[in-house]
Amino acid sequence: KLMDCAAPRVEQSFAEPLRSCSWIRQIVVRVSVFSPIIPRDGVQAYGFCTRALAARGFSTVGTAEVSVEDEDSSSPMVEHPPRIKFKRPDKTARHIMNILNKEAVDKVRTERTIPDVQPGCIVQMRVQVPENKRRESTLKGIVIARRNAGIATTFRLRRLVAGVGVESVFPLYSPNIKEIKILDRKKVRRAKLYYLRDRMNALKK
């Protein structure tokens, strides 16, 4: 859809996106500057293009320069497939972080499969600890909590090590976690199993 709308306008508007791209490279993006563009042109498709660029560039200006460069290198309007529809850009700006999070999670999920760890799972995982040891260790324990936060989703593993209880929090999408294998799933009636800190025999039920 973007390509269809954009194709007729390529000549006129080719200069504009390039200029707006240079805008994006600057540190401060003034959103108010872009809003006059839309009523001035009256063409939704063109506004769509610049907005798509502006919204993408605007969100990642501090952090990932990569996506901005990505947009600039390819022909601005045509090639980049619109993954998300920007119907109202000012509303989109509010959940840009949501969109970025989802993209990051999808990227990790396509690279390796991560099973669904829920509280109550008994899990065995192979972790590579960066603490000066390039050796993989195997950890086995029960998941007692899971906190969903996009790419920073963490789960809490409780295990008995040499007679002492140890709880560790791991980011689910961490590249240090080489493999997660679910050994067993216990039926639990809550999301956070902190009561297990007092009662280790409750696990065996």
Residue 197 as a binder of another protein (CB under 8 A): the answer is yes
What is the C-alpha to C-alpha distance for residues 30 and 190, in angstroms, rounded to an integer? 47
Which one of 13-21, 35-43, 105-113, 169-177 is the stretch in contact with another protein (CB under 8 A)? 169-177
> Closest approach of Cβ 132 to another protein, in Å?
6
The H or E element containing residue 37 is helix 37-41
> Closest approach of Cβ 165 to another protein, in Å?
4
Near another protein in 105-164, by CB under 8 A: 129-133, 152, 154, 161-164
Phi and psi angles of residue 71, each rounded to the nearest 5 degrees, phi first: -65, -40
> Closest approach of Cβ 109 to another protein, in Å?
18
Instruction: Return the SS3 of 158.
Output: strand
Closest CA to 128 of 179, 169, 183: 179
Asked if 156 and 119 count as a contact pair (C-beta separation under 8 A), the reply is no
- Of 118 and 128, nearer to another protein (C-beta) is 128
The H or E element containing residue 147 is strand 136-147
Where helices occur in 74-181 by DSSP H, the ranges are: 89-92, 96-111
What is the C-alpha to C-alpha distance for residues 93 and 199, in angstroms, rounded to an integer? 47
Which one of 34-42, 110-118, 141-149, 165-173 is the stretch in contact with another protein (CB under 8 A)? 165-173
Residue 201 as a binder of another protein (CB under 8 A): the answer is yes
What is the C-alpha to C-alpha distance for residues 176 and 171, in angstroms, rounded to an integer? 9
- Of 14 and 195, nearer to another protein (C-beta) is 195
Residue 171 as a binder of another protein (CB under 8 A): the answer is yes
> Closest approach of Cβ 116 to another protein, in Å?
20
Measure Cα distances from 26 to 1, 6, 197 in Å: 29, 25, 52
> Closest approach of Cβ 177 to another protein, in Å?
9
Phi and psi angles of residue 188, each rounded to the nearest 5 degrees, phi first: -130, 155
- Of 28 and 164, nearer to another protein (C-beta) is 164
Residue 4 as a binder of another protein (CB under 8 A): the answer is no
- Of 88 and 178, nearer to another protein (C-beta) is 178
Task: List residues near another protein by CB under 8 A.
Answer: 129-133, 152, 154, 161-171, 174, 176, 194-195, 197-201
